[in-house]
Chains A and B, each alone.
Chain A
Amino acid sequence: MNHRYFPHTPADIAEMLERCGAATPGDLYADVPEQLRLAGEYDLPTSMTEKEVRDYFNRLASANRQLTCFAGGGFYHRYTPAAVPALMSRSEFLTSYTPYQPEISQGTLQYIFEYQSMMAELTGLDVSNASMYDGTTATAEAMMMAVAATRKRNTVLISGSVAPAVRNVAATYARYHGIDLQEIESDNGVTSLDDLKQKLSSGKVAGVILPQPNYFGIIEDLTGFADAIHQAGALMIMNCIASDLAVLRSPGEWGADIAAGDAQSLGMPLSYGGPYLGFLCCTKALIRKMPGRIVGATKDAGGNRTFVLTLQAREQHIRRDKATSNICSNQGLMALHTAIYLSLLGTEGLKEVCTAGANGAHYLADKLTRTGKMRLKYPDRPFLNEFAMSCDFDVDCMLKVCTAHDILGGIKLDNHSILIAVTEMQTIEELDRLAEIVATSNFA
């Protein structure tokens, strides 16, 4: 019997081999030298039936524990409307290739065009690319884009209040790409404008990466930043949490040139880290410096509105080592997720998501403060749905106790401070319960 994924019958194989002038399929490998060949079989299990595969994964799944999630750090437990996975599973979308043949790829091209339009709206910038891997790599690409766009300048500044994961990935790219990436000091939890101005005075700065909200959940007041950055001839890059742009002053409104970040917050399953989606938007003036794919509108030979991959002369398959980036894919399916999610929610729905999270976070922060054991780390800074708290106790102890109660209590910042996020997913009982655990446990 053939394997269920292979249609070939013995008769098919015999007939095909005859046309190829071979006696066995192995004859087609006569050019592989004997000493390079695998001796015997792989050291792997034999083929499983579907039921065995299912049992295997169910066993793995049962070894995971489901926790009520108060962890954020850029990735949030959000509600995904049922229509999103239902439409994403349409195999015309799921099993299609990159839309290099526009005549039979209008579905993909059109949803990417819609996605680009939505992200441009959210960021308040003119244009968006077709999406990238995740928020960390999109920000690293924005960093390289700034260096390419400003020529002869090779320094990029990144705020110390940007999420550590983003700073780490940007640092890796910078080190190998030969960019001098310097950190801007923080002042009471936010980017120091004084330190920024001082570092800009070198005249070598190509771009400045600022967060919104920042890693500590703080909404930064960026008044005066764009002027300082532009006067120094540099580009302003904002690393944002996509969902929050429904209610926060947008990168465009702050005067940013480029916005990059993760769109996981737009209802994507946490899925232990991926797939998510990195977005990258910019002003129209920078469009030809953009990495990644871009979909544009045009007309076909019959005058019908048609969507195509455009400005491909920037890309690796044409320019090879002179390309704006090595990126060859986008997160196609996650761009579809984003387009469907935002179509269903609209601006009002997304505002409600932000508001529900913000209201819950302020409620919880207040409750936790009332325990007398925790207090806001930056009490005079505004936040949305995530906040940092200083604790009298050891954070590891608290997290352990929470885990025992099936709660992921937050993300440790240091031994005595923690980052806590609330979204529309927690009920008021769950918020109360976390506060109750803190109030009643001694965490020792």
Chain B
Amino acid sequence: MNKEYYGKLIFELSREGRSGAAIPDAGCPDAQIPAALARVHTPELPQADEPTVVRHYTNMSANNFGVDTGFYPLGSCTMKYNPKINEEMCSLPAMASLHPHAPAETTQGALEAYWTLQRALSEIGGMAEFTLNPFSGAHGELTGLMVIRAYHDSWGDHARTKVIVPDSAHGTNPASAAVAGLKVVEVKSLPDGTVDADALEAMLDDSVAAVMMTNPNTAGIFESNVARITDMVHRAGALMYYDGANLNPMLGIARPGDMGFDVMHINLHKTFSTPHGGGGPGSGPVGVRDGLEKFLPNPRVVKNSDGTFGITASGEALGSISATLGNFAVQLRALSYILSLGKEGLAEAGLLATLNANYIKESLRDLYKLPIDRVCKHEFVFDGLADKNSGVTTLDIAKRLLDYGFHAPTIYFPLLFHESLMIEPTETESKETLDCFIKAMRDIAREAAENPEVVKTAPHTTPVSRPDDTAAALNPTVTWKELKNSAG
């Protein structure tokens, strides 16, 4: 492709008088908008014909990396293959054309899909019921914490204002707690990455509303103490929240409900293969144990005694967190995936994800610093290179991997180590892909020792090189108009 032309913004390709769409018109007489209420300045949207638009966005896509392009060893993100059949099933016209206010009698198929997925997730989570309404994992966390507050409020216990979160938690945990009006207290991890249960026990009192945990945690370690922890948290009158970001390796092995968790969310865009779409749309269904269903947000989907499906709302619910039943098309993809894998495929997915992660870990532990030397689950963390003399950082390694045709791992997270480099391969990567990645990581370690400059200045083969983030933040230029003006 011609970079000079196709590297432009659609605004720069705009020419007065072009259009790329023909709008249907029933031919009704003209209605007038009162002049005082009408737009004064015409918005400057691009003017472009269809071929120009198609070529522009197609060429832009070539500057992107996706799961279909290559391997994402991205820790805590579960970048598994997104099956093609799911895309077709979610865009069937008889599903995609339904208005959210259509009467339930005309949307029975859609409601059955919602209900069936809700039941499947309840089985997988070991929970009594799920809502699929939350739009993302973070939205699910917020919804789950609202459920917990509604539960405490329901018997007049308003003093529980704190949430305890491990220092290894995803950043959304404390942020969601803050949005839900709760105060965040951190509990330290032990050197092996697991929660310090004794420290946690000392923090428990009647001001604690909930404890949030990820299991396996963000270091990829299964919290074997979880039963003891849920016990002592329940004895203190608080509830246990399960962050489902790392659910994938537990498929078919153990269920959060059986571990003693009361409320959980699942990221359909992680464990259940719905595409990340460059940042969304996601979906973060929330499950609750028996007795907490009534606090789930409105609206809810129910199966009636006559086998039909309906939509209900309850006064005891925490309220509503969406106008609709959530990102329906994402839910359909996840249902298609669960049916495609079946119970045996789901169980196999977890095992293979864990096998892939341990295989990479064992293949690189001589060259990269392994701060927690244990069997991991779906992911694990290196603390940079074993040999730190070259000054090559985790950021440099991540950028150099781009030259080798791989996405970077998650870097500088969890916050337990200075040079965290967190690797999660998922079950859909072949041994050949993993071997190729392992070779690249070994080559980079060698380059760091022999020719560190090539790593420190990477990447060298990508559409652009390292950007100036400082300049971007100092003088934010976030629209075409600003960019045009700043160029003088």
Distance between Cα atoms of A440 and B243 in the complex (Å): 57
Given contacts A73-B101, A331-B280, A382-B34, whether A63 and B345 have CB atoms under 8 Å apart is no
Task: List residues of chain A with CB within 8 A of the CB of B136.
Answer: 133, 327-329
Listed by A's residue number, 29 A-B pairs whose Cβ atoms lie within 8 Å are A3-B341, A12-B430, A37-B253, A59-B109, A60-B95, A61-B92, A92-B65, A104-B459, A117-B481, A121-B481, A122-B45, A128-B478, A128-B479, A133-B280, A134-B135, A166-B323, A173-B179, A269-B91, A297-B483, A301-B465, A310-B473, A321-B175, A328-B138, A329-B279, A329-B281, A333-B280, A343-B48, A346-B46, A350-B45
If A5-B349, A177-B181, A275-B328 are given as contacts, then 12 extra A-B residue pairs at C-beta distance below 8 Å, sorted by A number, are A5-B428, A38-B252, A44-B120, A85-B91, A103-B399, A106-B63, A117-B481, A165-B323, A272-B99, A275-B327, A321-B174, A340-B57
Distance between Cα atoms of A168 and B21 in the complex (Å): 36
Given contacts A127-B479, A340-B57, whether A71 and B321 have CB atoms under 8 Å apart is no
B172 at the interface (CB under 8 A from A): yes
B258 at the interface (CB under 8 A from A): yes
Given contacts A7-B428, A301-B466, whether A33 and B43 have CB atoms under 8 Å apart is no
B107, A272: Cβ atoms under 8 Å? yes
B138, A114: Cβ atoms under 8 Å? no
A308 at the interface (CB under 8 A from B): yes
B319, A175: Cβ atoms under 8 Å? yes
B81 at the interface (CB under 8 A from A): yes
Task: List residues of chain B with CB within 8 A of the CB of A41.
Answer: 252, 343-344, 347
B43, A29: Cβ atoms under 8 Å? no
A97, B25: Cβ atoms under 8 Å? no
Within 8 A of A (CB), among B300-354: 318-330, 332, 336, 338-349, 351-352, 354
B375, A30: Cβ atoms under 8 Å? yes
Task: List residues of chain B with CB within 8 A of the CB of A352.
Answer: 23, 25
In the A-B complex, the 10 residue pairs with the closest CB atoms: A273-B324, A47-B342, A333-B277, A107-B64, A172-B319, A63-B109, A332-B279, A332-B278, A165-B323, A275-B281
B437 at the interface (CB under 8 A from A): no
B26, A97: Cβ atoms under 8 Å? no
Task: List residues of chain B with CB within 8 A of the CB of A64.
Answer: 94-95, 98, 106-110
Distance between Cα atoms of A300 and B100 in the complex (Å): 45
Mark each residue of chain B from 146 to 186: 1 if its CB lies under 8 Å from any CB of chain A, else 0: 10010000000000000000000001101111111100100
Given contacts A19-B363, A345-B19, A431-B28, whether A325 and B175 have CB atoms under 8 Å apart is yes
Within 8 A of B (CB), among A113-168: 113-114, 116-118, 120-122, 124, 126-128, 130-131, 133-137, 144, 163, 165-166, 168
B427 at the interface (CB under 8 A from A): yes
Which residue of chain A lies nearest to B484 when distances are taken between CB atoms in the complex? Answer: A117
Instruction: Flag the segment in B66-74, B234-242, B381-389, B441-449 that touches A.
Output: B66-74
Instruction: Flag the segment in A49-57, A199-207, A370-378 that touches B.
Output: A49-57
A411 at the interface (CB under 8 A from B): yes
Which residue of chain A lies nearest to B139 when distances are taken between CB atoms in the complex? Answer: A133
A256 at the interface (CB under 8 A from B): no
Task: List residues of chain B with CB within 8 A of the CB of A48.
Answer: 339-340, 342
Given contacts A272-B98, A287-B476, A326-B142, whether A107 and B341 have CB atoms under 8 Å apart is no
B178's partner among A15, A321, A331 (CB-CB below 8 A) is A321
Task: List residues of chain B with CB within 8 A of the CB of A305.
Answer: 7
Task: List residues of chain A with CB within 8 A of the CB of B431.
Answer: 7-8, 12, 15-16
Distance between Cα atoms of A300 and B459 in the complex (Å): 11
A61's partner among B109, B172, B276, B467 (CB-CB below 8 A) is B109
* Nearest Cβ on chain A to B180's Cβ, whole angstroms: 5
A270, B100: Cβ atoms under 8 Å? yes
A249 at the interface (CB under 8 A from B): yes
B473, A106: Cβ atoms under 8 Å? no
Which residue of chain B lies nearest to A37 when distances are taken between CB atoms in the complex? Answer: B254
B38, A90: Cβ atoms under 8 Å? no
Within 8 A of A (CB), among B1-47: 7, 9-11, 14, 18-21, 23-31, 33-34, 36-47
B322's partner among A134, A334, A355, A362 (CB-CB below 8 A) is A134
Distance between Cα atoms of A176 and B74 in the complex (Å): 33
A188 at the interface (CB under 8 A from B): no
Interface size of B by CB at 8 A reads 199
Task: List residues of chain B with CB within 8 A of the CB of A112.
Answer: 278
B413, A87: Cβ atoms under 8 Å? no
B9, A114: Cβ atoms under 8 Å? yes
Mark each residue of chain B from 84 to 98: 1 if its CB lies under 8 Å from any CB of chain A, else 0: 010111011111111
A20, B43: Cβ atoms under 8 Å? no
Given contacts A36-B227, A172-B146, A343-B20, whether A273 and B328 have CB atoms under 8 Å apart is yes
Mark each residue of chain B from 195 to 234: 1 if its CB lies under 8 Å from any CB of chain A, else 0: 0000000000000000000000000011010110000000
A105, B227: Cβ atoms under 8 Å? no
Within 8 A of B (CB), among A6-40: 6-8, 12-13, 15-17, 19-22, 25-26, 28-33, 35-38
A50, B135: Cβ atoms under 8 Å? no
Interface size of A by CB at 8 A reads 207
Task: List residues of chain B with CB within 8 A of the CB of A62.
Answer: 94, 109
A228 at the interface (CB under 8 A from B): no
Distance between Cα atoms of A84 and B106 in the complex (Å): 27
B354, A332: Cβ atoms under 8 Å? no
Task: List residues of chain B with CB within 8 A of the CB of A425.
Answer: 24
* Nearest Cβ on chain B to A173's Cβ, whole angstroms: 8
B246 at the interface (CB under 8 A from A): no
Distance between Cα atoms of A41 and B242 in the complex (Å): 21
Task: List residues of chain B with CB within 8 A of the CB of A223.
Answer: 36
B279, A108: Cβ atoms under 8 Å? yes
Mark each residue of chain B from 277 to 307: 1 if its CB lies under 8 Å from any CB of chain A, else 0: 1111110000000000000010000000000
Which residue of chain A lies nearest to B100 when distances are taken between CB atoms in the complex? Answer: A273
Which residue of chain A lies nearest to B7 when distances are taken between CB atoms in the complex? Answer: A305
A176's partner among B181, B254, B279, B462 (CB-CB below 8 A) is B181
* Nearest Cβ on chain B to A236's Cβ, whole angstroms: 17
A360 at the interface (CB under 8 A from B): yes
Task: List residues of chain B with CB within 8 A of the CB of A177.
Answer: 179-181
Task: List residues of chain A with CB within 8 A of the CB of B43.
Answer: 118, 121-122, 124, 245-246, 250, 347
Distance between Cα atoms of A300 and B470 in the complex (Å): 11
A344's partner among B41, B48, B258, B465 (CB-CB below 8 A) is B48
B407, A25: Cβ atoms under 8 Å? no
B94, A93: Cβ atoms under 8 Å? no
B450 at the interface (CB under 8 A from A): no
Distance between Cα atoms of A382 and B112 in the complex (Å): 41
B253, A53: Cβ atoms under 8 Å? no
Distance between Cα atoms of A223 and B172 in the complex (Å): 41
* Nearest Cβ on chain B to A358's Cβ, whole angstroms: 5
* Nearest Cβ on chain A to B465's Cβ, whole angstroms: 4
Task: List residues of chain A with CB within 8 A of the CB of B72.
Answer: 97
B244 at the interface (CB under 8 A from A): no
* Nearest Cβ on chain B to A376's Cβ, whole angstroms: 13
Distance between Cα atoms of A54 and B480 in the complex (Å): 43
B33, A110: Cβ atoms under 8 Å? no
A329, B282: Cβ atoms under 8 Å? yes
B10's partner among A114, A306, A310 (CB-CB below 8 A) is A114
Given contacts A53-B340, A90-B58, A330-B280, whether A428 and B347 have CB atoms under 8 Å apart is no
